[in-house]
Amino acid sequence: MPTLFGRHFTCDELLRKVGRIEQVGGVQPLTLAEGREQGVRALQLRTGTGLSLTVAVDRALDLVAAEWQGRSLCWQSPGGVAHPSYCEPAGLGWLRTFPGGLLATCGLTWYGAPHDDPQAGVEGHSGLGLHGRIGAIPARQVAWGGEWEGDEYVMWVEGQMEEWILFGPHLELRRRLWARLGENRFYLRDVVTNRGFVPQEHMILYHVNLGFPLLDEGARCLFPARKVLARTAYAQQSIAQWDRFEPPQPGLEERVYYYELAARTDGRTCVALVNRATDAGQPLGLALRYNLAMLPVLVHWKMPGAGSYVTGVEPGTNFGDGRPREREAGRMIVLEPGESRTYEIEFGLLTTDEQLEAVEEEIRGLTGGEPPELGTAPVT
């Protein structure tokens, strides 16, 4: 039963008060119309609580904007939601059209720093660029809508992306995003399938980009960390402050950390970013819940530079230092022809002190309150 404006409504009670469901929530299509965004198809999903998500149909159904009651949950880049025709896949070209947003998907056959892979075949003829190609692939077979299930109204977006090259990989990603009217949470389910006829290596990373006002000085990471590993010597200098944030400053470099997380006996874990002072008396946070068996690595990107003030909370299948390294370490996923893997993430907004305290208690329960071990990752 939806809870809107502090009241509970049955289906009949709500429909008596509105001309159509979009008066209070639902999914509506739109098209961006200026600069490099010209022609990008998108869908706006609103749950009626003030939670609004913008899903870019032409950018892998990624979440390019998200807000709650006028407060952005994510960082948005100056480049906007560039049409995929502008994307530059080689080297660091991915950065030129990185939209930020609440979710930028990376993969499907590699992600992480640009690198060479002697076993890449035609896929790697000019090197493997930053974070792979999936985020610039438009969705097809796109559908959206909403329906009443008893007294619950469920809204959804779904579609299919294919990463393909002749003589090389053919991976399909089927994505479904859904939420319920009156709730401050939503869900993602991805199914990745090898549509080729030979075994195929596979990697996926969920690049969640949190920004102001959720991210600010005083914001805090709540991760059930058993180990925190700095990716570089520069990151190692600030590893003791892995869960804290400084104000934005010009010229600061990025810091990247890898985490070994604790989980429940069923593999479920929770990571969150919380800020108790976005407004006077208004806490704000975002929690991600998922299964470590499917996404065993958490990458944390801290970028405190002025104008690029963002932190990436990034569940993934692998470390981000190249396929050869992951292959040698025995961590590479190989999908047989026709084989699929399913990834599910719950995104939950935290808007009260009680909700933040409940997540703090949940994460303390996973770690037993023990502080993490700090160290350096065996990478560059």
Q: Tokens for 124, please give them.
A: 């790697």
pLDDT per residue as tens digits for the range 227-238? 999 999 999 999
Each domain of the chain, given as residue ranges in start order, spans 3-376
Q: CA dist 16 to 12, 48, 75, 343, Å?
A: 6, 16, 38, 38
Contact 216/109 with Cβ under 8 angstroms?
no
**For position 380, what pLDDT does the model report?**
41
Q: What is the pLDDT of residue 376?
A: 86
Q: What is the mean pLDDT of the chain?
A: 96
pLDDT > 90: percent of the chain? 94
For 42-58, the pLDDT digits (tens) are: 999 999 999 999 999 99
Q: What is the mean pLDDT of residues 304-320?
A: 96
Rounded distance between C-alpha atoms, residue 225 and residue 2, angstroms: 35
- 150-189: per-residue pLDDT in tens? 999 999 999 999 999 999 999 999 999 999 999 999 999 9
Residue located via tokens 């299919």? 160
Residue 200 above 90 pLDDT?
yes
- Yes or no: domain 3-376 corresponds to CATH 3.90.550.10: no
The tokens for 360 are: 């703090």
Instruction: Give the residue with greater pLDDT, 281 vs 76.
Output: 76
CA distances (Å), origin 298, targets 112, 167, 318 = 13, 32, 9
Question: Which is it for the CA torsion 345, 373, 317, 217, positive or negative?
Answer: positive
Beta bridge partners of 105: 206
**Structure tokens, 95:** 């950065």
Q: Distance (Å, rounded) from C-alpha 259 to C-alpha 230?
A: 9
Question: 320: Cβ–Cβ under 8 A, 6 or more apart, which residues?
Answer: 111, 112, 113, 205, 231, 256, 299
Average pLDDT on 291-302 reads: 97
Averaged pLDDT for residues 114-137: 92
Residue 171 CB neighbours (<10 A): 22
Do 209 and 74 contact (CB within 8 A), yes or no?
A: yes
At residue 378, the pLDDT reads 65
Structure tokens at 267: 């593999």
Measure Cα distances from 165 to 112, 125, 140, 196, 324 in Å. Answer: 20, 12, 17, 10, 20
Give pLDDT tens digits for 86-121. Answer: 999 999 999 999 999 999 999 999 999 999 999 988
Q: Are 202 and 194 in contact (CB under 8 A)?
A: yes
25 pLDDT more than 70: yes
